[in-house]
Structure 1
Amino acid sequence: MFVNSFWALLPAIIAIALALITKEVYSSLFVGILVGGLLYTNFSFTATMQHVFVDGMIGQLSDGWNVGILIFLVVLGSMVMLMNRAGGSAAFGKWATTHVKTKTGAQLATIALGCLIFIDDYFNCLTVGSVMRPLTDKHKISREKLAYLIDATAAPVCIIAPISSWAAAVTGFVDGANGLTLFVRAIPYNFYALLTIVMMLTLTFGKIEFGPMKKAELRVGGSADKDSEKNKRHSSMTGAEDQPTPPVSVNGRVIHLVLPIITLIVCCVIGMIYTGGFFEGTNFVDAFAGSDASVGLVYGSVVALVITIIFMVATKVLSFTECMNAIPEGFKSMVPAIMILTFAWTLKSMTDSLGAAEYVGGLVANIADKDALMSLLPAIVFIIGAFLAFATGTSWGTFGILIPIVAKVFGSDMGNELMIISISACMAGAVCGDHCSPISDTTIMASAGAECKHINHVSTQLPYAITAAIVSCVAYIIAGFVRNWIVCLIVGVGLMIFTVFGIHAVTKE
């Protein structure tokens, strides 16, 4: 009775509500997982234990894709620890203070770097965080704001980049049409991604904050708040007490941060196109579209780690023993993110087993059958996609559910502009829900990259993401009738800027 019905969404709703109310992520996710197991087994104790721990948790941790992401996390944590202990991060912070002299400049630099690393959202979150933390700390930008800037330039940028792991995922869900061509044509209609970037720039240039983010920024600006300063200087993913600061080399230079990052980018790109068959004759675009991002990131990050160790030892900033000691420390720094990811994946498996995808897919199909609602279909698809991604914590899963349904409704007619808009609404809604959801892996990665307590990141980002979502929904309503991306985008950008300044005028006191 609970399968393929609204009950299938209940575990995720409970987990998200508890996380926002209690500010405690681990127990909230576990309660949601337990509820999902009980509903699936009709409240049988032994069957629930089997479903939760064997089918769910162990099943997710034995999945090849998930294991690859966890290995990538561990290797990246080790690289970040190496760069920190070599003094590269500290040297970059000193260099940045002489070149980036304002808080606005630091935020713009973070946005620019996030837009440049468009290959993969996981890679984006952790790389931008490790590079920009010293700079944002110097300019008293809260870790919550850094996490927002990272998150808002991860999935929203990847979903409008034709050469990215996200483009590869989307093209794989379209049957009977050229997926890459469809993806490119949908970019101008991806209002949530484009308007999120517009919103970030408006907030930065206008020096505007509102909601919980404003409180976080004011708290960090006041040096009298010792607790916030502690949160700023150290990782607060778990809220644990301060740990002794590890020794940092005094010989570190900016190159000891920049070169490992560049090496990581190059190696990961090569790793991804390798898995797509580039070195077997496949062209670059097709190799990227057919790549296995999880395996490619593992290949690239491991090679980059080896090169980084050799570089650190060769330049005598760290001994080989110090490099080896940094690796398990880097592993430890990623444990909170790994735990949250594991619980989030397990929760997703509970909602999958209850048929959440089939239930939502049926709703969309029923709406698409009603001719009177066809012009409103993009806005409806956007809302449903956002809700589904929010509840399940996966944008790619949402792509897999909604895109084939929309393609089937229109018969893969590439000449139908409403189909292009609706496909784009699927992608935008999925990214929106992913951006808002506390159980989204991208949101978790952004918290880890910024070394910000996860629930703080979620609660401060939510008002910003919802604002962008509302404006995007209005843009999709207009697009359903106008069907011209230039007009819709101009209206959307104007409405976004007006909304941000309007909220600021109302809440500035």
Structure 2
Amino acid sequence: MEPQDHLGLLSVMPAAIAIILAFVTRNTVFSLAVACFAGVLAMGSGLMGFPTLLKETLGTTSFSWILLLELFIGTVIAFFQRTGAIQNFSAWVERRKLSRVRVQLVGWFMGMFVFFSDYFSPLFVGTTTRGLTDRYHVSREKLAYIADSTSAPVSVLVPITGWAVFIAGLLIGIGPIENADQAMSVFVHAIPFNIYAWLSVALVGLVIVGIVPLFGPMKKAERRAIEEGKVLRDGADPLMGEELTDITPYPGVKTSLLVNFILPVLVVISIAVGTFIVMGSAKTMEAFLAAAVVLGVCMRLQGIPFNDIMKTATAGMKGVMPAIIILALAYSLNQLSKDMGTADYIVQATEAWLTPALLPALTFLIAAIIAFSTGTSWGTFAIMVPLSMPVAFTFSADEVSLLVYATLAAVAGGGVFGDHCSPLSDTSVLASTGAASDHIDHIKTQIPFALLTAVIALISYIIIGTML
């Protein structure tokens, strides 16, 4: 299939099936599998097209990276549980005598602090604060929302993350942008125009302190948690294996908050940030591997038997398998969407409406639809930057202008919106995993807030477009 080819309306069918079934059945694995199977049949690949799709998609470096990253994160989390590090952290926070609101604010600040990885952030925030939020009767849906809305939105606002490097890299060669320095300069100047990301992060804090009242399914979930003491609804299916949530501290061994919690976190941060500065790419997976090794050595020195350490590591890997299965099928559906030309069809169907005044708003809308349909913000960036930015430069007489900044920010914000609230999104899956929340419950409770933010961003881009 040529890059600009698509199967028309049929090209959006797999994503539509996955999203609809996910909400109807509340089973993401089943929904994704059916969508992939229907897609390969629609492409004429026959019954063997499904296993072929899985082999071709999962046998890649990119999926191997996310697989290893998840396994190492699961190992670190399991070590945190076995050493009592999370309990020690919770006890330390409790000694500060925080209120229910302040406990949630801790999660909000932690999410913004761990800005360097949208994969680590939701898992870290959810895992480390879940015990506290459970004690204060904060619903798992609310915790997943806090973790999710301080991961990708923050990552796309900070110019020293992989997100910034990726988006800037896509700009090189477009219009007058000739090198990485010029591209990064455009990205930095576009940050103030990334309305969706700014509002997403701010809205979490406003919701926590009560300035913005709860509404929709989130209000119902919080009422259940407060009045009934149920952080999960009856019948919910938390997206974390029991192997990970049921790990208890090793008896009779004295552990340290500094050694068993702060040290491995510093290892992750120093390696991720250090490799980004030195090598231009944050080695997140390698950072978690190092943290797992360091933490394992510390556990052995503290007297925990080697066999118990290995058993704990295995339990941690098993615990993240539900998330890995969903990610595997989501990757397969994303590849299927590329093969069917889903994004090309969406762009072609909307390009007739394009005017300079509507460019930022329409760019945001298209990016949001593509990201929601495919579950990938980076894939959306790769599609939308080469399509929208040349148009912005054409309208700007091949000069870097406010229209260029606003359009790039619209691409970034739209990609984050779709990735933020799609049941196919990897970061949403990880937020559900970290919070041990039912995945579809997380999506249903977060979407109203994401839509509110997106509507405000869309109106803002319309206003900005008319003023430029």
TM-score by length of structure 1 reads 0.84
Moved more, 126-135 or 395-404: 126-135
Deviation at 1:230, TM superposition (A): 9.9
**Aligned-partner SS, 1:198:** helix
**Aligned-partner SS, 2:47:** helix
Is the 2:81–2:247 contact (alpha carbons within 8 Å) kept by the matching residues of 1?
no
Is the 1:144–1:457 contact (alpha carbons within 8 Å) kept by the matching residues of 2?
yes
Question: Which position in structure 1 is the counterpart of 2:218?
Answer: 213
**Aligned-partner SS, 2:158:** coil
Deviation at 1:382, TM superposition (A): 0.8
| 2:205 aligned residue (176, 201, 225) | 201
Deviations 1:392-426 (A, max 9, x none): 11111111111111221133744321121111111
Question: Which position in structure 1 is the counterpart of 2:111?
Answer: 114
Deviation at 1:366, TM superposition (A): 3.9
**Aligned-partner SS, 2:358:** helix
From the superposition, tell whether residues 27 and 401 of structure 1 become closer, same or farther in structure 2 (CA, over 3 Å): same
Deviation at 1:3, TM superposition (A): 3.3
**Aligned-partner SS, 1:411:** helix
Question: Which position in structure 2 is the counterpart of 1:310?
Answer: 297
Deviation at 1:228, TM superposition (A): 4.7
Deviation at 1:102, TM superposition (A): 0.8
Please list, as runs of the form range in 1=range in 2, the aligned pairs for 1:170-189 lying within 5 A after superposition. 170-176=167-173, 177=177, 178-189=182-193
Hey, what's the Cα distance between the residues in 2 that align with 1:329 and 1:271?
29
Hey, what's the Cα distance between the residues in 2 that align with 1:219 and 1:328?
35
Please list, as runs of the form range in 1=range in 2, the aligned pairs for 1:4-43 lying within 5 A after superposition. 4-41=7-44
Residue 81 in structure 1 maps to residue 78 in structure 2:
yes
Residue 265 in structure 1 maps to residue 278 in structure 2:
no
Residue 425 in structure 1 maps to residue 427 in structure 2:
no
Hey, what's the Cα distance between the residues in 1 that align with 2:448 and 2:47?
37
Hey, what's the Cα distance between the residues in 2 that align with 1:195 and 1:265?
26
Question: Which position in structure 2 is the counterpart of 1:236?
Answer: 238
Question: Which position in structure 2 is the counterpart of 1:336?
Answer: 322
From the superposition, tell whether residues 352 and 121 of structure 1 become closer, same or farther in structure 2 (CA, over 3 Å): same
Hey, what's the Cα distance between the residues in 2 that align with 1:182 and 1:226?
44
What is the one-letter code of the residue matched to 1:481?
T
Hey, what's the Cα distance between the residues in 2 that align with 1:237 and 1:152?
18
Question: Which position in structure 2 is the counterpart of 1:405?
Answer: 387
What is the one-letter code of the residue matched to 1:58?
K
**Aligned-partner SS, 2:451:** helix
Identity %: 33
**Aligned-partner SS, 1:141:** coil
Moved more, 358-367 or 182-191: 358-367
Hey, what's the Cα distance between the residues in 1 that align with 2:155 and 2:229?
39
Is the 1:152–1:196 contact (alpha carbons within 8 Å) kept by the matching residues of 2?
yes
What is the one-letter code of the residue matched to 2:46?
T
What is the one-letter code of the residue matched to 1:449?
G
**Aligned-partner SS, 2:159:** coil
Deviations 1:253-300 (A, max 9, x none): 422222222222223334455xxxx3xxxxxxxx33xx2x5xx22221
What is the one-letter code of the residue matched to 2:348?
G
Hey, what's the Cα distance between the residues in 1 that align with 2:46 and 2:6?
15
TM-score by length of structure 2 reads 0.91
Question: Which position in structure 2 is the counterpart of 1:497?
Answer: none
What is the one-letter code of the residue matched to 1:416?
S
Hey, what's the Cα distance between the residues in 1 that align with 2:340 and 2:392?
29
From the superposition, tell whether residues 38 and 92 of structure 1 become closer, same or farther in structure 2 (CA, over 3 Å): same
| 2:47 aligned residue (33, 46, 49) | 49
**Aligned-partner SS, 1:140:** coil
Is the 1:182–1:414 contact (alpha carbons within 8 Å) kept by the matching residues of 2?
no
Hey, what's the Cα distance between the residues in 2 that align with 1:49 and 1:262?
49
What is the one-letter code of the residue matched to 2:426?
D
Question: Which position in structure 1 is the counterpart of 2:140?
Answer: 143
Is the 1:148–1:446 contact (alpha carbons within 8 Å) kept by the matching residues of 2?
yes
Question: Which position in structure 2 is the counterpart of 1:502?
Answer: none
| 1:356 aligned residue (320, 342, 357) | 342
Deviation at 1:319, TM superposition (A): 2.6
From the superposition, tell whether residues 18 and 229 of structure 1 become closer, same or farther in structure 2 (CA, over 3 Å): closer
Residue 323 in structure 1 maps to residue 328 in structure 2:
no
Deviation at 1:363, TM superposition (A): 4.0
Moved more, 20-29 or 1-10: 1-10
Deviation at 1:460, TM superposition (A): 0.9
Gaps of 5+ in 2: none
From the superposition, tell whether residues 367 and 221 of structure 1 become closer, same or farther in structure 2 (CA, over 3 Å): same
**Aligned-partner SS, 1:121:** coil
From the superposition, tell whether residues 363 and 223 of structure 1 become closer, same or farther in structure 2 (CA, over 3 Å): closer
Hey, what's the Cα distance between the residues in 1 that align with 2:348 and 2:231?
52
Hey, what's the Cα distance between the residues in 2 that align with 1:414 and 1:315?
61
What is the one-letter code of the residue matched to 2:297?
I
Is the 1:364–1:381 contact (alpha carbons within 8 Å) kept by the matching residues of 2?
no
From the superposition, tell whether residues 244 and 165 of structure 1 become closer, same or farther in structure 2 (CA, over 3 Å): closer
Is the 2:373–2:422 contact (alpha carbons within 8 Å) kept by the matching residues of 1?
yes
Deviation at 1:385, TM superposition (A): 0.7
Gaps of 5+ in 1: 42-46, 279-286, 484-509
Is the 1:272–1:297 contact (alpha carbons within 8 Å) kept by the matching residues of 2?
no
Deviation at 1:358, TM superposition (A): 2.1
Residue 191 in structure 1 maps to residue 177 in structure 2:
no
Deviation at 1:434, TM superposition (A): 0.7
Hey, what's the Cα distance between the residues in 1 that align with 2:240 and 2:134?
19
Deviation at 1:227, TM superposition (A): 6.4
Deviation at 1:429, TM superposition (A): 0.6
Deviation at 1:6, TM superposition (A): 2.2
Deviations 1:455-492 (A, max 9, x none): 11111111111111111111111111224xxxxxxxxx
What is the one-letter code of the residue matched to 2:421?
C
Is the 2:139–2:230 contact (alpha carbons within 8 Å) kept by the matching residues of 1?
no
**Aligned-partner SS, 1:236:** coil
Moved more, 321-330 or 3-12: 3-12
Moved more, 168-177 or 262-271: 262-271
**Aligned-partner SS, 1:172:** helix
Question: Which position in structure 1 is the counterpart of 2:462?
Answer: 477
**Aligned-partner SS, 1:375:** coil
